[in-house]
Structure 1
């Protein structure tokens, strides 16, 4: 048996054809979905990248592991926590990864016999690098029972797809740098601008058309789709496609200007927390199945373990593949077989990076409570009727106060049950270190001689750019060295 889990970093479900998108971003992903099972309402319980992947490989949400933030020194995963690659390796699978999350936290390399760090000389990791590193490994281990984790970053900022992928998504003759187009003003004058200037905007030039940046995101998705086509073709060439369990998942999605979030993955809104999950295994997964009910990423660990037990492989110790006690995830196999249409009646949501918030998503409603809005403006409570308002534009927290109160009580009860008297790691993060991404902005501002409070009062792009340019020429009074 071969198991390949593929993280499609920053992949928004609603930007894929198999999830209803009309533009041609994903013809091959759509084909994979038609050959297996697609989960229509899969959710990232914890965002962004660090906490999402920690949950995927432990089968536990952040409140269970204690890892709730991203890039924080307070986040530590005990070595006693069961970890999917470690379990598979101990059972006899050859384990490998093409990934760079080890750069973030050491635990992402646990359990791998072969960990190929995809970080190279380029500023960003192109999916071409992932394919070029993965294919020789697959060739060398194709006769073994293996587990391979591949981490593609192509839909993530900065959106820098090959030029030929842009034209299907951006109107011919339209000028993305037209000075009369004012659609980028809100993004350029946002509180988070200092961070994105370096990490995104400067790499694209002085874009004035927000639609162009959205088109670049779509082009990145299509580029990745072609890379997955190439990878799958290689599995066929090596004669292992039919015996491979292929799992595609998004760690989180991406907001493309919705809710005042400009090309980033924060906020517990659908563009960021609704993610694709697709599985194909010709030996056991029925083709064309679509599961409509709520599932979440932490369901993947027990699902993969059950699949490995189902394979009944000689040389594999099935006793070591039993799902550990205390998982928040539940195996998806009942849903895959059509015996159920969900694994959860409600999914609980959390973030603690750009902003700190928790939420609950039921079949109809979403309730969000913001603890710290960071560089955003957020009401303390939000309630959305996803049947009537799928884009979450009308906050009903006051209009339907009883519904909001009931969901808040449910959320509070869940948090209390998870903590069991322990300190809330989100509260600790906010009290001791603050929001990680606000801290990043503060350091950038310090470098040009501004404080957070000054920026808060006057977050103007032109002002920051002028100070940044002066700093580059050594002319900023009091700038940090």
Structure 2
């Protein structure tokens, strides 16, 4: 068995052709999707980057691992404590550790562990190649390393190769010489000038007036793809083009990997997994160039699995987590799943059955503190710390009629909000009942001063709001976050 795992940072599925996007961003990914199963309702349990990959690699929710944020206590995995053996559980129960137990040689090409000092990410890998730019690399930094590995190892049996591309991640960085194949193509229909004008009144980091999080100062090397603020539709077009160019540029490099694997004669029998850590808000909830909420757009990710001999060009619409991958692989390998994993296998989906969970609980504690419930046509969102966006405590969106989350219908549907809150409470009770710790890491984040990316910025941000004509929000921000002004 040979497995290629393409870990494509910040890739939202609805900007891929195989998920229905009108722009030709992903011809190579689309071709692979036709050879396997495409999952349409696949979500990271915990967003963004560090919590998501920790859940993927451990098979556990952030509430169990303790990793729900980007700083403070909530950025480190909980210690196993007294039950820890000579080697930790990650040695055999992490994703690469499990695959090693199945006889696969495991390798990773990624800067991720260094970017977040997440050294547990390495657990179970035989080889680790750090591409050296802490997530600021472009595909031309990653592909040569991957091609060298393929040339040296592809013909060997039983390997797992994890390759991490970063091109869709902010700041959008496709090289200038790549050009812009989308400059004459229309934007997605939902994002109109009227919508943009509403977003210019929005308050919060990474809003239309502050693409650089708290101001409009984008480094000069990225300004071609990323304007510092979106004042008009021309700015918006350049911004969306920047994200889409990152995808298309990355897709071309994936084509080079595919061709190399074909040249080595191993492509036909190769398992390919294509997924992401999280999506990217491109206007939804008023956020741009960020993955900072527990919403449908941030947490929904692509999942494409090409398994030779399984169904081709199949679509699964069931609800699944990224942490479901570990038990799925265990079933496919005929192995017993670990009792520590929170996931559920969807292996039968690869044979044509449509499986799925009743609901998904989604978490975000790096930019805001939110938990959400995805069920039926709905996403119910509950905010514990608004990250300076002035979100209400409860939000509700009908994703069937409003997939871009433009109309909060919480006040119109209190019964659906009650259902969402009930499901969230039941999940929380179940999680806390299975933990050795009595601490919910979401509340640890709040006790330690709030989400990492929203700590210590509010005084200066309030001055920025006054400068940009939104000073009327300062009073409410001070009321909600009085400790920031002590």
TM-score under structure 2 length normalisation: 0.82
The answer for the alignment partner of 1:37 in structure 2 is 37
The answer for the alignment partner of 1:219 in structure 2 is 245
2:55 touches 2:61 (CA, 8 Å); kept in 1? yes
From 252, 257, 268, the counterpart of 2:294: 268
Distance across 2 between alignment mates of 1:31 and 1:461: 49
Query: What whole-Å deviation, never above 9, does each CA across 1:218-267 have from its counterpart, x for those lacking one?
Result: 11111111111111111111111122211000211111122111111112
Distance across 2 between alignment mates of 1:191 and 1:153: 18
Is 1:288 equivalent to 2:304 in the alignment? no
CA spacing shift, 1:159–1:102, aligned 2, 3 Å: same
From 448, 458, 483, the counterpart of 1:432: 448
- 1:301 offset after TM fit, Å? 1.5
1:36 touches 1:278 (CA, 8 Å); kept in 2? yes
Is 1:299 equivalent to 2:324 in the alignment? yes
From 433, 454, 462, the counterpart of 1:456: 462
CA spacing shift, 1:155–1:383, aligned 2, 3 Å: same
CA spacing shift, 1:200–1:423, aligned 2, 3 Å: farther
The answer for the alignment partner of 1:327 in structure 2 is 341
Aligned pairs for 1:222-237 (under 5 A) are 222-237=248-263
The answer for the alignment partner of 1:17 in structure 2 is 17
Aligned pairs for 1:238-277 (under 5 A) are 238-277=264-303
From 104, 109, 123, the counterpart of 1:93: 104
The answer for the alignment partner of 2:59 in structure 1 is 59
- 1:198 offset after TM fit, Å? 5.0
1:69 touches 1:352 (CA, 8 Å); kept in 2? yes
2:208 touches 2:288 (CA, 8 Å); kept in 1? no
The answer for the alignment partner of 1:471 in structure 2 is none
- 1:123 offset after TM fit, Å? 7.9
CA spacing shift, 1:98–1:377, aligned 2, 3 Å: same
Distance across 2 between alignment mates of 1:200 and 1:376: 27
1:159 touches 1:220 (CA, 8 Å); kept in 2? yes
The answer for the alignment partner of 1:189 in structure 2 is 209
The answer for the alignment partner of 2:129 in structure 1 is 116
Distance across 2 between alignment mates of 1:345 and 1:418: 16
In structure 2, stretches of 5+ residues that fail to align are 80-87, 186-195, 202-206, 470-486
CA spacing shift, 1:87–1:287, aligned 2, 3 Å: same
2:58 touches 2:94 (CA, 8 Å); kept in 1? yes
1:36 touches 1:289 (CA, 8 Å); kept in 2? yes
Distance across 1 between alignment mates of 2:220 and 2:101: 41
From 378, 385, 389, the counterpart of 1:376: 389
Is 1:132 equivalent to 2:144 in the alignment? yes
From 392, 396, 399, the counterpart of 1:386: 399
- 1:102 offset after TM fit, Å? 1.4
CA spacing shift, 1:455–1:6, aligned 2, 3 Å: same
**Secondary structure of 1:402's match?**
helix
Query: What whole-Å deviation, never above 9, does each CA across 1:99-151 have from its counterpart, x for those lacking one?
Result: 1121111111111111001114x982111222111122222222131111111
CA spacing shift, 1:197–1:322, aligned 2, 3 Å: farther
**Secondary structure of 1:169's match?**
coil
Query: What whole-Å deviation, never above 9, does each CA across 1:22-51 have from its counterpart, x for those lacking one?
Result: 111111111110011100111121100111
Distance across 2 between alignment mates of 1:59 and 1:140: 31
**Secondary structure of 2:381's match?**
strand
The answer for the alignment partner of 1:476 in structure 2 is none
- 1:71 offset after TM fit, Å? 3.7
Distance across 1 between alignment mates of 2:445 and 2:327: 29
In structure 1, stretches of 5+ residues that fail to align are 173-181, 311-320, 446-451, 464-481
Is 1:415 equivalent to 2:440 in the alignment? no
Distance across 1 between alignment mates of 2:444 and 2:183: 45
The answer for the alignment partner of 1:156 in structure 2 is 169
2:373 touches 2:381 (CA, 8 Å); kept in 1? yes
Distance across 2 between alignment mates of 1:203 and 1:164: 14
Query: What whole-Å deviation, never above 9, does each CA across 1:332-359 have from its counterpart, x for those lacking one?
Result: 21111123x1231111100001111000
- Number of residue pairs matched by the alignment: 430
